[in-house]
Homo-oligomer: A and B are copies of this chain.
Amino acid sequence: MDIKTYMQQLGRQARQAGREISKADSGRKNDALLKIAAAITEAGAELAGENRKDLEAGRANGMDAASLDRLELTPARIGAMVEGLKQVAALPDPVGEISNLGYRPSGIQVGQMRVPLGVIGIIYESRPNVTVDAAALCLKSGNACILRGGSESIHSNRAIAACIAKGLAAAGLPEQAVQVVETTDRAAVGELVRLQQYVDVIVPRGGKSLIERISAEATIPVIKHLDGICHVYIDGKADIDKAVAIALNAKTHRYGVCNAMETLLVAESIAPTVLPVLAEKYAEKGVELRGCLKTCSLVKQAVRASEEDWHTEYLAPILSIKIVADIDEAIDHINTYSSAHTEAIVTEDYTLARRFLREVDSSSVMVNASTRFADGFEYGLGAEIGISTDKLHARGPVGLHGLTSLKYVVLGDGHIRQ
C-alpha cells in the first residue's frame, strides 16, 4: 500500500472511531484510560526492550546525548506515563456539558454544548511519552487521534500503541480511536496535514522549525506554539524582594523551557537599586547578560545587546536587559518583540497592574508572579497538549477544553419562526 492510500485509510478509520468515541460515556472513557495504564504497567519489560532498540539505533546513528536522554523510557518515566493516565481519568469530562441554557423571548431555550472536535492529528519529535499523554487527552475529550512520533522512537511508539489498543479493547471502545502511524516515511506527515476530509485539527509538538514547516504545509487548522520570548517588567513601584525573586526564578528555574524569561525590562527609576543586586545573583548562576546602553553603564557584567537579542528565544543561560522610561515603553517593547506567550509585571501599583493586564497582548499576563507558572498543570487544566500562541480557538496552555468546541442546542415545543 502506498503512503497516500495508507494515510487515507488511517483517516477513514479515525473518522469512524471518532464518531463512536464522541458518544462514549465518561465511565467507559475513564475505564479505558485505567486499562491502558494497567497494560503499560504489565508491559514494562517489553516497553524497555523495544525502547532499547530505538536507543541502540540512535547511538549507531550518532544521536547526541540530550536526544538520547529524551528518547529513553526509564522505569520512572514509564511510571509517570501511568500516573498521567490516572490523572486524566480523574479530570471532569468536558464533553456534553451545556452552558448558558436560557429561554429566549420566542420561547425557545438556547444553550451551548461542549463537543469533541472529531479527529486530532498530532505530530511530535522523539519523546515516546507524548504518545500516551496525547492519546489520553484526545480520548478523554472524545476525539479520535492519529499520532505521528519521531522515526527515532518508532519501536517504543509501536509498543506503547499496542498497550493503548489493548486498553481500548478491554473497555469496549474501538481500537482505531488511537492510531500510531506505523511508517517512518516522512511523506506520511505531508499526507496527514492535508487529510481535510478526515482530520479536524493538527497539533505539532516540537521545535520551531518543525512547527513552521507543518503550518506552511497544512491545509487543516493547526493549533501551534511557535516560541516563548517572555518578558518580566520590573516597575518603579516594585517591591525589591519580589522583583529579585521573580526575575531570578523566571530566568534560572529552567533554561530550556518556553515559559522562561528571555528579556528583563526595568523602570529607569528603580534600575540602580535592583539591577546590581540581580546582576550578582545571575553571575552566581552563570547567566550571561546582554543589556542596552544604560544597563551596561549600571552593570559591569553586561555586554551590549543587539537588535537581534530582543527577538531571540535563548533557551539558555543568557538574558537581555533593557531599561525603560515607564510602563508605556515597557508595554510597547513587549507588544513589539514578544512572541505573545507570557509576560509579567512586578509592581505594588494597583493602577499600573490593571493596565498591564489589559494592554499586554499575550496568551498569559501576570502580576507579581514568575512566568514559569504558565503551564497546564499550574493553571489547573490537569494536563496540556501544548501552549498556543495563536489567538483563535485556544490561547495559552491547551488542555481538554482546547480539544473541544461548542455547538448550539435549541429546545422547543413545536416553535416556528414568525
Q: How many angstroms from the CA of A366 to the CA of B417 in the assembled complex?
A: 13
Closest to A412 in B: B369
A69-77, A108-116, A151-159, A314-322: which one contacts chain B? A108-116
Interface code A365-390, partner B: CB below 8 Å = 1, 0 otherwise?
11111101110001110000000001
Pair B373/A414 contact, Cβ less than 8 Å: no
Instruction: Sort chain A's interface into a size bin.
Output: 35 or more
Check if A414 sits within 8 Å of B106, measured CB to CB: no
7 chain-A/chain-B pairs, Cβ below 8 angstroms: A19-B359, A22-B359, A108-B373, A357-B409, A367-B411, A370-B416, A397-B408
Determine whether A4 belongs to the interface, using a CB cutoff of 8 Å to chain B: no
Residues of B within 8 A of A200 (CB): 391-392
Q: Is the CB of A414 within 8 A of B241?
A: yes
**Contact check: which of B104, B108, B396 meets A407 at CB < 8 Å?**
B396
- For A411, the closest partner residue in chain B by CB is B367
Distance between Cα atoms of A19 and B336 in the complex (Å):
11
Chain B residues near A352: list those with CB within 8 A.
Answer: none
User: For residue A300, which residues in chain B have a CB less than 8 angstroms away from its CB?
Assistant: none
- Which residues does chain B contribute within 8 Å of A370, judged by CB atoms? 412, 415-417
Question: What is the copy number of this chain in the assembly?
Answer: 2
B-facing residues in A340-377 (Cβ within 8 Å): 344, 346, 357-359, 361-370, 372-374
| Distance in angstroms between the alpha carbons of A23 and B239 in the assembled complex | 27
> Which residues on A are within 8 Å of B, measured CB to CB?
19, 22-23, 96, 102, 104, 106, 108, 110, 113, 115, 117-118, 200-201, 221, 223, 239, 241-242, 245-246, 248-250, 253, 335, 344, 346, 357-359, 361-370, 372-374, 378-380, 390-393, 395-397, 405-417
Given A416-B245, A416-B253, does the pair A365, B410 have CB atoms closer than 8 Å? Answer: yes
Q: How far is the CA of A335 from the CA of B118 in the complex (A)?
A: 12
Decide yes or no: A395 and B391 within 8 Å by CB, A253-B416, A416-B249 being known contacts: no
A160 to B239, CA, bound (A): 52
Residue of B nearest to A357 (CB): B409
CB distance from A12 to the nearest CB of B (A): 13
- Report B-chain residues with C-beta under 8 Å of the C-beta of A413: 242, 368
From B223, B392, B397, A117 is in contact (CB under 8 Å) with B392
